[in-house]
Chain A
Amino acid sequence: EPEVTQTPSHQVTQMGQEVILRCVPISNHLYFYWYRQILGQKVEFLVSFYNNEISEKSEIFDDQFSVERPDGSNFTLKIRSTKLEDSAMYFCASSEIPNTGELFFGEGSRLTVL
């Protein structure tokens, strides 16, 4: 069964460092998303991406965040200068259609900022 894969599974970084989280969405999906889950809290939408551009972003997704699809398979989330409060589990997801389709999530990348 096709699945969304994410790397790394866990990354520890110092505050102020840049971090890139990588995702390989399901191959025939066209819509890509990043969500995050701070420990013990709800899953929060960060950004959606379609046709090589951001289609929607939340207030969390400020100038420190960026997304990119550098090739035909990878979808990356970059945090330019990490803060302590960026520590969370980051989930990549993809869907075949945007509105009525279910999202398929990866297993997440745990980011710890020290």
Chain B
Amino acid sequence: AQSVAQPEDQVNVAEGNPLTVKCTYSVSGNPYLFWYVQYPNRGLQFLLKYITGDNLVKGSYGFEAEFNKSQTSFHLKKPSALVSDSALYFCAVRDGGFSGGYNKLIFGAGTRLAVHP
């Protein structure tokens, strides 16, 4: 069964410091991995995705994520955090195989990022 784990409920970072939000996944086929951000009272906004190719993918607002197949991880990173990055971040996976479930996105529980001035 597909699953996503975000081990941290909350990550606290000082503005200007690098940030990492962790994500690990489990799928039976090739993983298609996504990061979304949710600001208060808003829908989810797409940040970036990994489908194939270079393990380091770059996305919106200076975020990037590294796909690590051996560790089944897809951690979200940013070199220098901003207060405006404070939000709820969701990792999600699709199973790229055709064993079923290729249409649906499985989300992690979310990690709240708090960036302090």
Identify the A interface with B (CB < 8 A): 4, 31, 33, 35, 41-45, 48, 50, 55-56, 58, 91, 98-100, 102-108
Contact = CB atoms under 8 A, between A and B. Distances in A.
B103 A103 contact: no
Given A99-B32, A100-B51, A102-B49, A107 B42 contact: yes
Contacts of A56: 100-101, 103-104
Interface residues of B, number: 25
Contact of B102 (A44, A91, A98, A102): A98
Interface in B83-106: 90, 94, 96, 100-106
Contacts of B108: 42
Contacts of B43: 4, 91, 105-108
A31 B44 contact: no
Nearest 3 interchain pairs by C-beta: A105-B43, A45-B104, A43-B107
B104 A103 contact: no
B51 to A, nearest CB: 5
Given A56-B101, A107-B41, 10 more contacts: A33-B105, A42-B90, A43-B110, A48-B103, A48-B104, A50-B103, A98-B103, A100-B49, A105-B36, A108-B42
Interface string B61-83: 00000000000000000000000
Nearest to B98: A99
Nearest to A4: B43
Contacts of A45: 104-106
Given A42-B108, A55-B103, A98-B102, A104 B46 contact: yes
A29 to B, nearest CB: 13
A57 B101 CA distance: 9
A42 B107 contact: yes
Nearest to A101: B49
B25 interface: no
Given A102-B34, A103-B46, A42 B103 contact: no
A44 B103 contact: no
B109 interface: yes
B34 A99 contact: no
